[in-house]
Structure 1
Amino acid sequence: MLDKKFNPAAVEEKHYKLWEDNNAFAANTQSDKAPYTIMMPPPNVTGSLHMGHALTFTLQDILIRYNRMQGKDSLWQPGTDHAGIATQMVVERRLEGEGVTRHDLGRDKFIDKIWEWKEESGGTIVKQLRRLGASADWAKERFTMDEGCSEAVRKVFVQLYKEGLIYRDKKLVNWDPKLHTAISDLEVEQRETNGKMWYFNYPLEGEDGKFITVGTTRPETMLGDTGVAVHPDDERYKDLIGKNVILPIVNRAIPIVADEYADPEKGSGAVKITPGHDFNDYEVGKRCDLEIINVLDLNAKLNENAPAEYQGMDRFDAREKIVAEMESLGLLVKIEENPMTIPYGDRSGVVIEPWLTDQWFVNAEVLAKPALEAVETGKTRFVPKQWENTYYEWMRNIQPWCISRQIWWGHQIPAWFDENGNIYVEMTEEEAQKAAGEGVKLTRETDVLDTWFSSALWPFSTLGWPEKTAELEKYYTTDVLVTGFDIIFFWVARMMMMGIHFMGEVPFKDVYIHALVRDEHGAKMSKSKGNVIDPLEMIDEFGADAMRFTLTAMAAQGRDIKLAKSRVEGYRNFATKLWNAARFCQMNGCKPVDGFDPAAVQHPVNRWIVGKVGDIAAEVGRQIEEYRFNESANSIYGFAWGTFCDWYLEFTKPILNGADEAAVEETKATTAWVLDQILHVLHPSMPYITEELWESMADERANQLISSSWPQKVLEDADANEEMDWLVNLISTIRTTRSELNVPGSVQLDVFLQGASDVTVQRLERNMDLIKRMARLQKVEPITEAIAQGCVQEVVGESTVFINVVDHMDVNAEKARLEKEIANLDKIIGGKEKKLSNEKFVANAPADVVETERTKVAELTAKNDKFKEALARLTTAL
Structure 2
Amino acid sequence: MKWNKEQLGAYAPNDIEMSWYDFWEKNGYFHQDPDPSKEPFSIVMPPPNVTGQLHMGHALDNTLQDILVRFKRMEGYNVAWIPGTDHAGIATQVKVEQQLAKEEGKSRYDIGREEFLKRVWAWKEQYGSRIEKQVRRLGSSCDWSRKRFTMDDTCARAVREVFVTLYEKGLIYQGQRITNWCPHCHTALSDIEVDHSDVQGHLWYIKYPVVGEDDYIMIATTRPETIMGDTAVAVNPADDRMKKYIGKKVVVPLVDREVEVIADDYVDIGFGTGAVKITPAHDPNDFEMGQRHNLESIMIMNLDGTMNEKAGAKYNGMTREDCRKAVVADLKELGLLDHIEELTHAVGHCSRCKTTVEPFVTKQWFVKMKPLTEAALKAVEDGHTKFIPDRFVKIYNHWLEDVHDWCISRQLWWGHQIPVWYCDDCGKSSVSREDITECQHCHSKNIHRDPDVLDTWFSSALWPFSTMGWPDKTPDLQQFFPTSVLVTGYDIIFFWVARMMFMTCEFMKDIPFKNVFIHGLVRDSQGRKMSKSLGNGIDPLGVCEQYGADALRFTLVTGNTPGNDMRFYMERVEANRNFANKIWNASKFVIMNLGDFDENFVPEDKDLTLADRWILTSFNETVTKVTEDLDKFELGDAADAVYNFIWNSYCDWYIELAKKRLYQAASERDKHTVQYVLVYVLTHTLEMLHPFMPFVTEHLWQHLPHEGESIIVAPWPKTQDKWNFPADAATMNTMMEAIKGIRNLRAESNVPMGKKAPVILAPATEDMAQTLKTYEDYFHTLAFADKVTLLAAGDAKPENAVVAVVPGIEVYLQLKDLIDVEKETARVQKEQEKLQKEIARLDKKLSNQGFLSKAPAAVVEKEKGKLADYQEKMAALTKRMEDLAKL
TM class, shorter-chain normalised? Answer: over 0.9
Are the structure 2 counterparts of residues 598 and 59 from structure 1 closer, same or farther at C-alpha, using a change threshold of 3 Å? farther
Equivalence for 1:412: 417
Identity over the aligned pairs, expressed in percent?
Answer: 42
Which of residues 123, 127, 131 in structure 2 aligns to 1:121? 127
Q: Which amino acid aligns with 2:704?
A: M
Equivalence for 1:846: none
In structure 1, distance between residues paired with 2:868 and 2:580: 28
Structure 1 contact 740–870 (Cα < 8 Å) conserved: no
In structure 2, distance between residues paired with 1:361 and 1:30: 40
Equivalence for 1:776: 784
In structure 1, distance between residues paired with 2:564 and 2:57: 14
In structure 2, distance between residues paired with 1:725 and 1:639: 13
Structure 1 contact 592–697 (Cα < 8 Å) conserved: no
- Deviations 1:228-260, CA, capped at 9 Å, x for gaps: 122334444434332322222212222222223
Structure 2 contact 35–78 (Cα < 8 Å) conserved: no
Which of residues 811, 823, 828 in structure 2 aligns to 1:815? 828
Structure 1 contact 275–285 (Cα < 8 Å) conserved: yes
Equivalence for 2:717: 711
Structure 2 contact 734–808 (Cα < 8 Å) conserved: no
Following superposition, the deviation at residue 840 of structure 1 comes to 11
In structure 2, distance between residues paired with 1:828 and 1:52: 47
- Deviations 1:115-164, CA, capped at 9 Å, x for gaps: 00000000101111111111000111000000000000010111111111
Structure 2 contact 300–308 (Cα < 8 Å) conserved: yes
Structure 1 contact 731–771 (Cα < 8 Å) conserved: yes
Following superposition, the deviation at residue 285 of structure 1 comes to 1.6
- Deviations 1:755-777, CA, capped at 9 Å, x for gaps: 52111111111111221231012
Structure 2 contact 597–672 (Cα < 8 Å) conserved: no
Q: Which moved more, 1:741-750 or 1:868-877?
A: 868-877
Equivalence for 1:728: 736
Are the structure 2 counterparts of residues 710 and 873 from structure 1 closer, same or farther at C-alpha, using a change threshold of 3 Å? farther
Following superposition, the deviation at residue 440 of structure 1 comes to 5.9
Are the structure 2 counterparts of residues 422 and 66 from structure 1 closer, same or farther at C-alpha, using a change threshold of 3 Å? same
Give runs of aligned pairs for residues 196-215 of structure 1, distance below 5 A: 196-207=202-213, 209-215=214-220
Q: Does 1:682 align with 2:692?
A: no
Structure 2 contact 35–479 (Cα < 8 Å) conserved: no
Structure 1 contact 187–346 (Cα < 8 Å) conserved: yes
Which of residues 171, 179, 202 in structure 1 aligns to 2:177? 171
Are the structure 2 counterparts of residues 102 and 863 from structure 1 closer, same or farther at C-alpha, using a change threshold of 3 Å? farther
Which of residues 140, 143, 156 in structure 2 aligns to 1:137? 143
Following superposition, the deviation at residue 854 of structure 1 comes to 13
Structure 2 contact 60–553 (Cα < 8 Å) conserved: yes
Structure 2 contact 708–714 (Cα < 8 Å) conserved: no
Structure 2 contact 423–439 (Cα < 8 Å) conserved: no
Q: Which amino acid aligns with 1:767?
A: Y
Following superposition, the deviation at residue 743 of structure 1 comes to 2.7
Following superposition, the deviation at residue 826 of structure 1 comes to 6.8
In structure 1, distance between residues paired with 2:479 and 2:175: 40
Structure 2 contact 208–250 (Cα < 8 Å) conserved: yes
In structure 2, distance between residues paired with 1:151 and 1:278: 36
Report the RMSD for the aligned CA atoms in angstroms.
Answer: 2.9
Equivalence for 2:673: 666
Are the structure 2 counterparts of residues 547 and 596 from structure 1 closer, same or farther at C-alpha, using a change threshold of 3 Å? farther
- Deviations 1:169-224, CA, capped at 9 Å, x for gaps: 100111111111111223222221231111222223334x4322222111110001
Equivalence for 2:612: 606
Equivalence for 2:750: 742
- Deviations 1:299-351, CA, capped at 9 Å, x for gaps: 11111212112111111111111111112222222112223221212222111
Structure 2 residues not aligned, in runs of 5+: 1-5
Following superposition, the deviation at residue 596 of structure 1 comes to 4.5
Give runs of aligned pairs for residues 12-27 of structure 1, distance below 5 A: 12-27=17-32
- Tell me, what secondary structure is at the counterpart of 2:204? strand
Q: Does 1:379 align with 2:384?
A: yes
Give runs of aligned pairs for residues 320-469 of structure 1, distance below 5 A: 320-419=325-424, 421-430=427-436, 433=438, 435-439=440-444, 441-469=446-474
Structure 1 contact 592–672 (Cα < 8 Å) conserved: no
In structure 1, distance between residues paired with 2:811 and 2:15: 50
Equivalence for 1:847: none
Are the structure 2 counterparts of residues 449 and 709 from structure 1 closer, same or farther at C-alpha, using a change threshold of 3 Å? same
Structure 1 contact 590–668 (Cα < 8 Å) conserved: no
- Tell me, what secondary structure is at the counterpart of 1:309? coil
In structure 2, distance between residues paired with 1:595 and 1:275: 83
Q: Does 1:112 align with 2:118?
A: yes
In structure 2, distance between residues paired with 1:839 and 1:180: 58
Q: Does 1:792 align with 2:783?
A: no
Q: Which moved more, 1:73-82 or 1:610-619?
A: 610-619
Following superposition, the deviation at residue 736 of structure 1 comes to 2.5
Following superposition, the deviation at residue 577 of structure 1 comes to 1.1
Structure 1 contact 601–607 (Cα < 8 Å) conserved: no
Following superposition, the deviation at residue 779 of structure 1 comes to 2.6
Structure 1 contact 9–543 (Cα < 8 Å) conserved: yes
Following superposition, the deviation at residue 713 of structure 1 comes to 1.3
Q: Which amino acid aligns with 2:738?
A: L
In structure 2, distance between residues paired with 1:682 and 1:825: 47
- Tell me, what secondary structure is at the counterpart of 1:168? strand
Equivalence for 1:803: 813
Equivalence for 1:153: 159
Which of residues 18, 33, 54 in structure 2 aligns to 1:49? 54
Give runs of aligned pairs for residues 481-560 of structure 1, distance below 5 A: 481-560=486-565
- Deviations 1:522-567, CA, capped at 9 Å, x for gaps: 2222334333221111111111111111112132234322212221
Q: Does 1:767 align with 2:775?
A: yes
Are the structure 2 counterparts of residues 817 and 726 from structure 1 closer, same or farther at C-alpha, using a change threshold of 3 Å? farther
- Tell me, what secondary structure is at the counterpart of 1:171? strand
Are the structure 2 counterparts of residues 669 and 505 from structure 1 closer, same or farther at C-alpha, using a change threshold of 3 Å? same
Structure 2 contact 803–811 (Cα < 8 Å) conserved: yes
Q: Which amino acid aligns with 1:413?
A: I
- Tell me, what secondary structure is at the counterpart of 1:435? coil
- Tell me, what secondary structure is at the counterpart of 1:229? strand
Q: Which moved more, 1:53-62 or 1:248-257?
A: 248-257
In structure 2, distance between residues paired with 1:500 and 1:858: 57
Following superposition, the deviation at residue 862 of structure 1 comes to 11
Equivalence for 2:108: 102
Are the structure 2 counterparts of residues 826 and 572 from structure 1 closer, same or farther at C-alpha, using a change threshold of 3 Å? farther
- Deviations 1:665-701, CA, capped at 9 Å, x for gaps: 2211221222211111111111111111121224x85
Equivalence for 2:233: 228
TM norm structure 1: 0.93
- Deviations 1:587-628, CA, capped at 9 Å, x for gaps: 222687544446767222323322322221222121112121
In structure 1, distance between residues paired with 2:758 and 2:54: 57
Are the structure 2 counterparts of residues 564 and 267 from structure 1 closer, same or farther at C-alpha, using a change threshold of 3 Å? closer
Q: Which amino acid aligns with 2:668?
A: E
In structure 2, distance between residues paired with 1:35 and 1:164: 36
Structure 2 contact 61–487 (Cα < 8 Å) conserved: yes
In structure 2, distance between residues paired with 1:615 and 1:824: 49
Which of residues 258, 261, 270 in structure 2 aligns to 1:256? 261
Following superposition, the deviation at residue 2 of structure 1 comes to 2.6
In structure 1, distance between residues paired with 2:864 and 2:440: 72
In structure 2, distance between residues paired with 1:147 and 1:832: 74
Are the structure 2 counterparts of residues 755 and 686 from structure 1 closer, same or farther at C-alpha, using a change threshold of 3 Å? closer
Are the structure 2 counterparts of residues 355 and 655 from structure 1 closer, same or farther at C-alpha, using a change threshold of 3 Å? same
In structure 2, distance between residues paired with 1:508 and 1:731: 50
In structure 2, distance between residues paired with 1:832 and 1:91: 65
In structure 1, distance between residues paired with 2:837 and 2:351: 49
Equivalence for 2:645: 639
Which of residues 312, 318, 322 in structure 2 aligns to 1:307? 312
